[in-house]
């Protein structure tokens, strides 16, 4: 028998990561493919804002895979560059709200008295209908990227804050955290060194799940004309542009909306399987179920 | 029971205070003089002064705030600038279509969810059970504005089954009203059913691990009866909570749907108020929606304690 290192032996016994988490790998992979496409494609496509009055409102063809709009702009290049904007906006909103939510959750979970007050306010936040808040910000700051970013960040922050706080409440009573405090570490250092790392997996899961919601709200706001506005294309404002031509050119509405639906679907699936991967309790639950299912079949 | 009501009433006060105060200062942080914006550049100083008085814009900010709080406490939410009508009357005039959409879609979604999950619970190895989660995840991913336009294209423009838009009060003329409601309600139902289904499936899975089911099986209760009499009713409770928490996003959906189907509800009113910079109306309307959110959650809590005796005791 040839010499096998311990590591490869273990690898041989254990199914690969992809085999153990097929959904996570496939959905994550497809998300990667879509992002790569919208990043790369615009380099090879005609200018998404180039107007060509001769080629107005063409149906999909070989030259224009998604047809052209009322100014003769190529809808496929608009679709690709809109993807950049919509996905970029989604990521920006997600990172901002999850960071802010994690910070609030850490503080509210660790400093009990302040935490109770913070959570009251946070709960009140959740009563705010998200789109309406974004609309109000659109009026105050003027529609556009900044107002959308602020509004949606504010809306999404409470969800992360609540989840992180309940995790911190559990962690704060752990012996190693008490030991750190007793050995003279300040509260902020304790939070940063001993508690924050344990909340990061949760924060990552939140990122994936919230980005799905962020993409949907970004779409709705762009559609209502309160997000990023033309001539910059987003998937949402492309749907709004196509609305007038719904009867003659339904594909103008179909393709950009389909992109949102597909991307959000993949994010939802990836987020759900990532949560099962990260949260051992959920894994335990499904293991119990599997065992019970086997018992039933026998 | 009384405790539940009291706790929710306290929440109601907190929510309205936070939302109202935030909006007050947010709307007043807009650069420029709203009275000037409304009257145009040609307005005389007397006109401006009178409008300032009407809008409560005289004096320092904290005084304006206290003035506003005093008015709200006496039930005066101000007057809509655009429509020259009391804000509360405006809300009362626009609430019916919104409530129709919200209640109809929530009830239908709930019934659909119970039906689907009931099927899943009774036959856990069927194709429905295997596919339900993915289908629900997909339903959750569909943007409402897009789904609504596709529905209009297929069912109104191509097939001609339903009108493309419009709204008639349900009880005034049901024959016209119902076909008009089908598409908007259906679009709202898709997303809500998807959300409820995912919640309820999770809670069924949790319920299936309970030991009392083993006891039931041991004494010979059939699987079907276990599913329908024990697992299903017990899994419905989390869906109730979901209905409450989902209300804010439901209203978001309703705003979009109202704008697509030209329905004169609260969403249309608020969008119009925003475009017209009608600050009292924005302020009152948003506070009212927040108020609805708390009331809905109060009702959910009450229903919860009626259904689940454990909640009543604790």
Give tens-digit pLDDT for A248-259.
888 888 888 899
Say whether B286 and A129 touch across the interface (CB within 8 A): yes
Topology classification of domain B95-311: MetI-like fold (1.10.3720)
Q: Are A134 and A223 in contact (CB under 8 A)?
A: no
pLDDT for position B105? 92
Say whether B274 and A135 touch across the interface (CB within 8 A): yes
Q: Which residue of A has its CA nearest to B272?
A: A135
The residue of B137, B160, B203 whose CB has the most chain A CBs within 10 angstroms, and thus the best one to mutate to test that interface, is B137
In tens, the pLDDT along A105-152 reads 889 888 888 888 888 788 777 777 777 777 777 777 777 788 888 888
In tens, the pLDDT along A3-40 reads 555 555 555 667 777 777 788 888 888 989 988 888 88
pLDDT for position A189? 85
Ranges of each domain in chain B: 1-87, 95-311
pLDDT (tens place) for every residue of chain B, 314 residues total: 677 778 777 777 887 888 888 888 887 776 666 666 666 667 777 777 777 777 666 677 787 888 888 888 887 777 787 787 888 888 888 888 888 899 999 999 999 998 988 888 888 777 877 788 888 888 888 998 999 999 888 888 888 788 877 777 777 777 777 788 888 999 999 988 998 888 888 888 888 888 888 888 888 888 888 888 888 888 887 788 788 777 877 888 888 899 888 888 888 888 888 777 778 888 888 888 888 888 887 788 777 777 776 665 54
Mean pLDDT of chain A: 79
Entry pTM? 0.83
pLDDT for position B187? 92
Question: How crowded is the C-beta side of B22, counted as CA atoms within 13 Å?
Answer: 20
Say whether B143 and A261 touch across the interface (CB within 8 A): yes
What DSSP state is assigned to residue B154? I
β-bridge partners, B238: none
**Which chain B residues touch A242 with a CB distance below 8 Å?**
149
In tens, the pLDDT along A193-226 reads 888 888 888 888 888 888 888 898 888 888 888 7
ipTM above 0.90, yes or no: no
**Which chain B residues touch A131 with a CB distance below 8 Å?**
251-252, 255-256
Please give the interface size between A and B, counted as residue pairs whose CB atoms are below 8 Å apart.
Answer: 152
pLDDT for position A287? 46
Q: Which among A239, A269, A264 has a CA at the least distance from the CA of A252?
A: A239
Q: Three-state SS for A243?
A: helix
Rounded Cα gap, residues A141 and A135, in angstroms? 10
Q: Are B39 and A145 in contact (CB under 8 A)?
A: no
Say whether A129 and B14 touch across the interface (CB within 8 A): no
Interface of A with B in 195-224 (CB under 8 A): 212, 216-217, 219-220, 223-224
Q: Is B188 exposed, middle or buried (0-12, 13-18, 19+ CB in 10 A)?
A: buried
- For residue B275, what are its two tokens? 């475009």
Residue A292 has pLDDT above 50, yes or no: no
pLDDT for position A5? 53
SS3 helix, strand, coil % of chain B, rounded to 5?
A: 80, 0, 20
Q: How many other C-beta atoms can be found within 10 angstroms of the C-beta atom of residue A37?
A: 12
Rounded Cα gap, residues B54 and B67, in angstroms? 12
- For residue B184, what are its two tokens? 């908007």
Of B296 and A87, more confident: A87
A120–chain B Cβ distance below 8 A for any pair? yes
Q: Which among A28, A54, A40 has a CA at the least distance from the CA of A83?
A: A40
Say whether B141 and A265 touch across the interface (CB within 8 A): yes
Could you write out the DSSP letters of every residue in A18-81?
HHH-HHHHHHHHHHHHHHHHHHHGGGTSPPTT---GGGTTPPS-SSSTT-B-TT--BHHHHHHH
Give buried/exposed letters for A216-232 (b at 16+ CB in 10 A, else e).
Answer: bbbbbbbbbebbbeeeb
Out of A124, A136, A285, closest to residue B23 by CB: A136
Q: How far is A246 from chain B (nearest CA, A)?
A: 7
Say whether A138 and B274 touch across the interface (CB within 8 A): yes
Say whether A124 and B19 touch across the interface (CB within 8 A): yes
Band of the pLDDT at A273, cuts 50, 70, 90? Answer: confident
Q: How far is B241 from chain A (nearest CA, A)?
A: 14
Q: Which among A228, A251, A246 has a CA at the least distance from the CA of A84?
A: A228
Tell me how far CA of residue A79 lies from CA of A38, A88, B125, B240, in angstroms.
8, 14, 41, 40
């Amino acid at each position: 028998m040839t010499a096998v290192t311990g590591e490869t032996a273990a690898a041989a016994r254990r199914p690969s990561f992809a085999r153990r988490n097929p959904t996570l790998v496939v959905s994550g992979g497809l998300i990667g493919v879509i992002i790569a496409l919208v990043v790369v494609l615009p380099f090879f496509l005609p200018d998404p804002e180039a107007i060509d009055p001769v080629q107005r409102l063409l149906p999909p063809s070989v030259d224009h895979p998604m047809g052209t709009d009322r100014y003769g702009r190529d809808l496929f290049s608009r679709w690709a560059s809109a993807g950049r904007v919509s996905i970029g906006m989604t990521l920006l909103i997600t990172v901002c709200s999850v960071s802010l939510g994690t910070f609030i959750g850490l503080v509210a979970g660790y400093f009990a008295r302040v935490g109770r007050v913070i959570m009251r306010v946070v709960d009140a936040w959740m009563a705010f209908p998200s789109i309406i808040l974004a609309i109000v910000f659109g009026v105050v700051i003027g529609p556009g990227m900044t107002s959308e970013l602020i509004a949606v960040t504010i809306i999404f922050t409470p969800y992360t804050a609540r989840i992180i706080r309940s995790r911190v409440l559990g962690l704060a009573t752990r012996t190693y955290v008490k030991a750190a405090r007793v050995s003279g570490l300040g509260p902020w250092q304790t939070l940063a060194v001993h508690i924050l790392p344990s909340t990061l997996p949760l924060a990552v899961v939140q990122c994936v799940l919230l980005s799905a919601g962020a993409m949907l709200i970004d779409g709705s706001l762009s559609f209502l004309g309160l997000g990023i506005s033309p001539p910059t294309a987003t998937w949402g404002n492309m749907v709004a542009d196509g609305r007038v031509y719904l009867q003659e050119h339904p594909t103008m509405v179909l393709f950009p909306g389909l992109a949102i639906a597909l991307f959000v679907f993949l994010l939802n699936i990836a987020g759900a399987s990532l949560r099962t991967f990260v949260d051992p309790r959920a894994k335990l639950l499904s293991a119990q179920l599997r065992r019970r299912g086997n018992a039933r079949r026998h | 029971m009384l405790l539940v009501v009291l706790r929710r009433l306290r929440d109601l006060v907190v929510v309205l205070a936070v939302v109202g105060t935030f909006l007050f200062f947010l709307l007043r942080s807009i650069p420029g003089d709203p009275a000037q914006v409304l009257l145009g550049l040609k307005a005389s100083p007397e006109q401006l002064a009178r409008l300032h008085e009407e809008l409560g814009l005289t004096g320092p900010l904290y005084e304006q705030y206290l003035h506003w709080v005093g008015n709200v406490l006496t039930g005066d939410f101000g007057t809509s600038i655009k429509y020259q009508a009391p804000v509360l009357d405006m809300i009362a005039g626009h609430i019916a279509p919104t409530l129709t959409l919200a209640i109809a879609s929530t009830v239908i979604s709930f019934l659909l969810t119970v039906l689907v999950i009931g099927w899943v619970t009774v036959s856990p190895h069927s194709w429905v059970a295997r596919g339900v989660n993915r289908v629900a995840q997909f339903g959750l991913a569909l943007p409402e504005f897009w789904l609504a336009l596709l529905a209009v294209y297929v069912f109104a423009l191509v097939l001609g089954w339903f009108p493309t838009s419009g709204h008639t009060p349900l009880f005034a003329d049901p024959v016209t009203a119902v076909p008009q409601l089908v598409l908007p309600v259906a679009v709202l139902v898709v997303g809500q059913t998807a959300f409820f289904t995912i919640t309820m499936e999770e809670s069924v899975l949790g319920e299936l691990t309970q030991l009392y089911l083993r006891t039931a099986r041991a004494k010979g209760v059939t699987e079907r009866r276990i599913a329908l009499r024990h697992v299903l009713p017990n899994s419905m409770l989390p869906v109730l909570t979901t209905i409450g928490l989902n209300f804010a996003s439901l209203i978001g959906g309703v705003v979009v749907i109202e704008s697509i189907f030209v329905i004169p509800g609260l969403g249309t009113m608020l969008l119009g108020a925003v475009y017209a910079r009608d600050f009292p109306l924005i302020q009152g309307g948003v506070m009212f929606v927040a108020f609805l959110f708390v009331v809905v959650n109060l009702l959910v809590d009450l229903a919860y304690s009626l259904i689940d005796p454990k909640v009543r005791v604790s």
